[in-house]
Amino acid sequence: MTRTDTPPTWDERATLTTFLDYVRATVHAKCDGVSEENARRAPLPDSPLTTMSGLVSHLRWVEYSWFQVVFLGEEDEGPWTDDDPDREMRIGVDIPLHELLDDYEAQCARYRELVAANDLEATAKRPIRDGRHVTLRWIIMHLIEETARHNGHLDILREMADGVTGA
């Protein structure tokens, strides 16, 4: 996977999709070479769900939720429940990191096709909490923001785990 934030052309679609792919690829870069033990470790005493594995699982399921549930209007079959709304973070530590990353990449490939097949102005089938129907453009922007924010968490967790910085 090539990681670049420079789009092949300067139009809006190319810029948005390039940045989304860049932050997605950064997830993989932050996790490259980390041990399974360190991927599952929660070093922040007040944040027991904040693990590298949990964050990768969360990002995979966040994309599922926005693209399949909100945008396409499909039934929500995510791992979360009313009793455990953060379950995707909890189950992440039970799955080998390479499987989480492979699953995340497979999801991303499907969503690249979905984005390519739809207009940026296409509206989501399901409304967000305030009752409005967001556009595909907004969903992409939101995923860039959320993935970039969690990349910061991955960066800190990786440095705490084994001292690796950069990427």
Provide the mean pLDDT of the chain.
Answer: 97
Percent of the chain with pLDDT over 90: 98
Q: Evaluate if residue 106 carries a pLDDT over 90.
A: yes
Q: Is the pLDDT of residue 113 over 90?
A: yes
Closest CA to 141 of 23, 6, 9, 4: 23
Q: Specify the number of domains making up the chain.
A: 1
Structural domain contains residue 1 = no
Query: Rounded to an integer, what distance in angstroms lies between the CA atom of residue 140 and that of residue 166?
Result: 25
Q: Is residue 167 part of a domain?
A: no
Is residue 14 within 8 Å of 8, Cβ to Cβ?
yes
Supply the range of the domain harboring residue 35.
Answer: 12-162
In a domain, 5, yes or no: no
Structure confidence by residue, pLDDT tens digits, 13-31: 999 999 999 999 999 999 9
CA distance 118 to 68: 13
Domain annotation covers residue 4: no
Supply the pLDDT for residue 167.
74
Domain assignment of residue 57, yes or no: yes
Average pLDDT over residues 43-49: 94
Query: Rounded to 5 degrees, what are φ and ψ at 135?
Result: -90, 165
Residue 44 resides in a domain: yes
User: How far, in Å, are 43, 49, 116, 156, 158 from residue 108 at the CA level?
Assistant: 28, 23, 12, 24, 23
CATH number for the domain including 141? 1.20.120.450
Q: Does 2 fall in a domain?
A: no
**pLDDT tens column, 48-101:** 999 999 999 999 999 999 999 999 999 999 999 999 999 999 999 999 999 999
Q: Establish if 43 belongs to a structural domain.
A: yes
pTM of the model: 0.96
Q: What is the pLDDT of residue 1?
A: 62
Number of alpha carbons in the 13 Å side-chain half-sphere of residue 3 = 10
